[in-house]
Amino acid sequence: MNPVYFLCQQTMLFSIPLLIVALGGMFSERSGVVNIALEGIMTIGAFASILFINTFQDRMSGQPLLILAILVAALAGIIFSLFHAYASIHMKADQTISGTALNMFAPAFAIFTARQIQGVQQINFNNTFRIQKVPVLGDIPILGEVLFQNAYITTYLGILVLIIASIVLNKTKFGLRLRACGEHPQAADSVGINVYKMRYAGVALSGILGGIGGLVFVIPTSTNFNASVAGYGFLALAVLIFGQWKPIRILYAALFFGLMKTIASAYSGIPFLTSLGIPSYLYKMIPYIATLIVLAFTSKKSQAPKAAGVPYDKGKR
């Protein structure tokens, strides 16, 4: 296959989970709750849904199974994220500590449970989810080859999530209120908006999208789940910051970081890149270095939600 197409397809596979998870993180942070638990949420989402696939793959396969697995991932993610929400919102715990605890809990729980159930910690699955070619659309030159051949429905899901997320955030009552809670919760409260409820909603959305993102990350890149999403949750956090908490910019950031990941993992197969002689580790490091650089240049006028990370004290109850 043409290496450019290969690179584009691979980039999509790496970028889409980053996009979905970072958009999840966006909802949480714009409601005012810093969520470094994305890594743990992804792990739990991937764990639950891959376990589900592993259990039911004898009876079903292909897209129906994948769709059910996505629902399982979302459910697992939302349940897990609620622990973060409860600690951050009701208990006014330090949000970084709570997130760290959940990040430690997730892989330990995944390994423990997997071993308890099946003896080993890897959970295998058969990848029956790849779509060879979407009818009609797959025949479009260039675009068809990149987007509609050898693709997964998760790619389209990612794009759908992006569209919905930007509409919800900018065009709806829910989005307006959510943003108010992340910027000035006292103002939101003074006009009768339930800040706690909005923040729970924000964190729950990050749970849904984080959980799905975990599954979306594992499916195309592996045939088993080994209790880890390889730092993708933290990378998604970097995407969120790099994207300055805005949906479209998050898309660009996810594509950029996905490209770097792709190059790092696939460069030995691409003659042009090997001839450059840049070691793969550098590509692995670039997203993190780039995030630091962007932060250094934007910190003076950062778009970060003003009240993110600050527990809101409602007083009563």
Q: Indicate whether 171 belongs to the interface with another protein (CB under 8 A).
A: yes
Count the residues of the shown chain that bind another protein, applying the rule CB under 8 A: 70
Site string for another protein, 198-237 (x = CB under 8 A): ------------------------------x-xx--x--x
Burial of 208 (0-12, 13-18, 19+ CB in 10 A): buried
**Cα–Cα distance for residue pair 93/21, rounded to 1 Å:** 23
Q: Indicate whether 59 belongs to the interface with another protein (CB under 8 A).
A: no
Q: Indicate whether 291 belongs to the interface with another protein (CB under 8 A).
A: yes
Binding region for another protein (CB under 8 A) out of 67-75, 131-139, 198-206, 276-284: 276-284
Q: Indicate whether 187 belongs to the interface with another protein (CB under 8 A).
A: yes
Q: How far is the CB of 30 from another protein (least distance, A)?
A: 11
Backbone angles phi, psi at 225, to 5 degrees: -115, 125
Structure-token pair, residue 224: 């088993």
Say what angle helices 62-85 and 38-56 make with each other, to 10 degrees: 150
Q: Indicate whether 186 belongs to the interface with another protein (CB under 8 A).
A: yes
Residues 64-83 contacting another protein, CB under 8 A: 83
Binding region for another protein (CB under 8 A) out of 53-61, 177-185, 211-219, 246-254: 177-185
Q: How far is the CB of 218 from another protein (least distance, A)?
A: 16
Binding region for another protein (CB under 8 A) out of 58-66, 143-151, 245-253, 299-307: 299-307
**Cα–Cα distance for residue pair 244/236, rounded to 1 Å:** 12
**Cα–Cα distance for residue pair 114/122, rounded to 1 Å:** 7
Structure-token pair, residue 242: 């790099």
Closest by CA to 167, choosing from 176, 155, 180, 156, is 176
Q: Indicate whether 179 belongs to the interface with another protein (CB under 8 A).
A: yes
Residues 32-51 contacting another protein, CB under 8 A: 36
Binding region for another protein (CB under 8 A) out of 11-19, 60-68, 143-151, 285-293: 285-293
Q: Indicate whether 190 belongs to the interface with another protein (CB under 8 A).
A: yes
Provide the 3-class DSSP secondary structure of residue 181. Answer: helix
- Rg of the chain (C-alpha set): 20
Could you identify the residue written with the tokens 């997964």? Answer: 152
Q: Which of residues 43 and 49 has its CB atom nearest to another protein in the complex?
A: 43
Say what angle helices 195-221 and 3-30 make with each other, to 10 degrees: 160
Binding region for another protein (CB under 8 A) out of 5-13, 16-24, 113-121, 198-206: 113-121
Residues contacting residue 157 through CB under 8 Å, at least 6 positions apart: 16, 20, 70, 212, 216
Cβ atoms within 10 Å, residue 76: 27
Provide the residue count of the chain.
Answer: 317
Residue ranges binding another protein (CB under 8 A): 36, 83, 87, 91-94, 96-98, 100-105, 107-109, 111-113, 115-116, 121, 171-174, 176-177, 179-180, 183-184, 186-193, 228, 230-231, 234, 237-238, 241, 279, 281-282, 284-285, 288-289, 291-292, 295-296, 299-301, 306, 309, 313-316
